[in-house]
Structure 1
């Protein structure tokens, strides 16, 4: 019976099935597998089958004659289909994909089919030709019903231009202290810090690298994505520098002296140069910078409105500078009793850099950096205290009291002997807390005033309507609105302050890169932790209630 129901169309592209009632009531059921077998026997098994249609047809054919409805009919249950290709792209039109559906007894796709799909979807840029060829080859191996989808084209985001940069042609004198010289055999001489950094008249100091224009981008549809040109940040002339006569992007030294690097230029300080400071030279008080090739002897004082650079050792002396203080070797003070003042004093409105420090009082507005060790000193900085070399292998902070408002970084904190070492960070926390408390009090005050206004408004509403002055009603309404706005403003400030405080808790930390010994006392803001056990590398932070030790 199945042979009578199924037939192939004259052009060989479709398989029809006749829907008729059973010839006999007890005729065997026709199942889907019977149809599949017929397709295989007639070499059309690769045709695309309409499975839902087949299920519907079988339900009608297998129904009893009494339940039969309708007239005999021919329906298509399978057909030959050529391979198809379609294109799509993502929402931003930066990636295009081609999907190939395998042929069902029909013809595979051709190269022109792929190109036509791209053209129809207006995919014109970023097409990968090699991927097209691979897709064409792979699609021929697809089985009926299989598909393959691959990215075929990619757009390109625009690349913004780079801002102009400054390439420094001279070294920073601070770097010399932290970078001992290497011997010919590869070892490092910790005592040899190289020559002091100075420049000659007419020597190039820095070069401005102009901004770049940037590179335009594009979408796969061909739309151009504009770029932006880098910002033009000009070189700034500082005292002692001028533009080169040959190149406006280069600045040179106007005079011999010591270079001071700035973010947008270089200053050349026509410094006072001396071999050493001794009783024979007397105290130094100079308008400008001072460069001392040798030592500063005990009891001597050096004051300068600029920076002070010492090539040797500062021994029980006093240095005060309007800029940086750079000591290429170290600071040696005398051991004093607990009730005595330290006589070796270093004060800078810039930063302080030294190789080592012992029994010295060091104060700076910017960073204090000591590359080897600081023993029994008092330090204070508005910025960071760093006791470490560039490789972060050596740097010991033992004894004394050290205050660094923005945080501390040391390789080793304290000593195995248990010497007491007090370290303070985030000392401005109390001021922030006072501000928060002030806002809280102000908020309480505004709430009290608002309640008074509401009470007055309630009393007014209890009066007869003809006895309620319009001016008073308007004034109460305005006052209430004012208090509501003020409360919202204070709450916003308190939320901002809390968010800022939370971020500062993480930023202002005390970092120990190697070891922390008992006897160290860590203070962050108003919280403290006395170290009673030895720690390895770690970071001390506060949550506002206590100091917490975390691994680095």
Structure 2
């Protein structure tokens, strides 16, 4: 049994008696005593109280509180309700000598009067009144937490990972043909299974307020040609043999479109599946595919856009106008005067005077393995043999931030600027109208309608600015530089090359061999390879 205390009121004097614990019980805590005395408006000497509380750990103690005679104090309690209003705790204080004890019924009624109407734990309350364990918090009421449901999810029966990378041959060249990036399928194969959402159950807090579970996310199976959806809309099955891939959340099964060259004989190509070009792509032509694009020859100043990977076995000289955009990876023998964007990695034997961005790593390996001129950005790391040039070509490499997130932040900031400029023209008119109305000036129906339209526009643009600022904050958190990103140089890095990691950068001052660049304590540092 815990130690406890109670008031003793005699004629012409009042005192506090402290009782030691029994068995495994806890001794009296001075905080509880001070709380109670303050609540009952008693004053005592703190040093005397400390000595008495310390002594009460072993034997009964009594200290004088005053010379006045007071009425007996009833048994009482202190209530604590959790911040989420799901739990209520009570700590009891003993009655003074001659004071009345509370009853379970009295406490329950009191709790209800104080707004605790649901989840009252009658057994716990009756348990206290059977044993009267003072100065111990008792859980007397508990709400019913909502049961959270389960989101719907899709189980794909094929490999959705696009991390297959080219291998190096013994002679140092890159093997662009054996990438194992295709998921082959046969007619009748199950490609994806939808597991439906499971709704949750609402809960209730102490006051009886309903607490709804979080909304569960629904999913639907998205698919293209050559795929059958089951009657219950939960299973996708291949209708033809070929290859399957996931592009922007949709499942595609396709036979491959194969052409010799893309030139005047074919015109531009726009295809739902994969495209294989056995020869070359001529200048000014466009190839668009929802799947992969493989070119066994060279690409000139053309534009290739793929939902999946782009593979160019003999490289690309974009002539300043060539563009590559891939929802997967870009693999090319070389990239020269090209703008290339990949959601995945970029792999090449050399990158010359190009603007390259990758959602993953940039790997420039092989016999030459150089990045010279232009700007190369990777959300992941950059691995290169030679970086920059002896001739001092402007070369910038950047790792650690997603270029697409940066672009989105710039778009939002531009939108905020435009909306703010518009508000600066609308708000003075609204303020003037409010002042006129306050002075009792009557406005025509046309003026009122115009003001209402402007007020609606003001609210719309204010809300848009607020939403844009919130999105910018979220994007900036996502853009926080990853600690594992690095620029690795297996050969030489030349002076004038700029290395950016996240928001910090450095310019290389002298030729250095076999090194890496990392972010350390807010700066870009050079470290051994």
Indicate yes or no: 2:334 matched with 1:358: yes
Structural mapping, 1:503-542, within 5 Å: 503=473, 513-515=485-487, 518-521=495-498, 531-532=507-508, 536-538=517-519
Secondary structure, counterpart of 2:11 in structure 1: strand
Structural mapping, 1:315-330, within 5 Å: 321=304, 323-324=306-307, 326-327=309-310
Structural mapping, 1:390-429, within 5 Å: 398-402=371-375, 409-411=380-382, 415=387, 420-422=394-396
Per-residue deviation, 1:536: 3.8
RMSD (Å), alpha carbons: 6.4
Partner of 1:23: none
Report if the CA contact (8 A) 2:9-2:97 is conserved: no
Partner of 1:225: 211
Partner of 1:266: 251
Per-residue deviation, 1:323: 3.2
Per-residue deviation, 1:148: 2.8
Per-residue deviation, 1:271: 1.9
Among candidates 158, 162, 166, match of residue 175 of structure 1: 162
Indicate yes or no: 2:176 matched with 1:162: no
Aligned residues: 425
Structural mapping, 1:19-38, within 5 Å: none
Partner of 2:240: 255
Q: CA separation in 2, counterparts of 1:489 and 1:226?
A: 30
Sort the Cα spacing of 1:437 and 1:160 in 2 relative to 1 into closer, same or farther, 3 A: closer
Per-residue deviation, 1:402: 3.6
Per-residue deviation, 1:318: 7.7
Per-residue deviation, 1:99: 0.7
Per-residue deviation, 1:484: 10
Sort the Cα spacing of 1:386 and 1:253 in 2 relative to 1 into closer, same or farther, 3 A: same
Per-residue deviation, 1:211: 0.9
Per-residue deviation, 1:199: 1.9
Q: CA separation in 1, counterparts of 2:80 and 2:409?
A: 57
Report if the CA contact (8 A) 1:290-1:304 is conserved: no
Per-residue deviation, 1:537: 3.0
Deviation digits for residues 373-399 of structure 1 (CA, Å, limit 9, x no counterpart): 76225236xxx5335179xxxxx9822
Q: CA separation in 1, counterparts of 2:110 and 2:427?
A: 67
Q: CA separation in 1, counterparts of 2:350 and 2:397?
A: 12
With normalisation by structure 1, the TM-score equals 0.53
Report if the CA contact (8 A) 1:306-1:322 is conserved: yes
Structural mapping, 1:200-211, within 5 Å: 200-211=186-197
Q: CA separation in 1, counterparts of 2:428 and 2:320?
A: 54
Partner of 1:98: 90
Q: CA separation in 1, counterparts of 2:421 and 2:209?
A: 58
Q: CA separation in 2, counterparts of 1:15 and 1:310?
A: 94
Per-residue deviation, 1:432: 7.8
Secondary structure, counterpart of 1:248 in structure 2: coil
Where in structure 2 are there 5+ consecutive unaligned residues? 1-6, 14-44, 50-58, 169-174, 364-368, 511-515
Per-residue deviation, 1:248: 3.4
Q: CA separation in 1, counterparts of 2:397 and 2:258?
A: 37
Secondary structure, counterpart of 1:121 in structure 2: helix
Q: Which of the two has higher C-alpha Rg?
A: 1
Per-residue deviation, 1:410: 3.7
With normalisation by structure 2, the TM-score equals 0.55
Sort the Cα spacing of 1:398 and 1:118 in 2 relative to 1 into closer, same or farther, 3 A: farther
Q: CA separation in 2, counterparts of 1:48 and 1:108?
A: 21
Indicate yes or no: 2:229 matched with 1:243: yes
Q: CA separation in 2, counterparts of 1:496 and 1:129?
A: 51
Partner of 1:214: 200
Structural mapping, 1:249-398, within 5 Å: 249-262=234-247, 265-272=250-257, 288=271, 289-290=273-274, 292=276, 304-307=287-290, 309=292, 321=304, 323-324=306-307, 326-327=309-310, 331-333=313-315, 341=319, 347-348=324-325, 350-351=326-327, 353-355=329-331, 358-360=334-336, 362-363=338-339, 367=343, 369-370=345-346, 375-376=351-352, 378-379=354-355, 385-386=358-359, 388=361, 398=371
Q: CA separation in 2, counterparts of 1:321 and 1:270?
A: 19
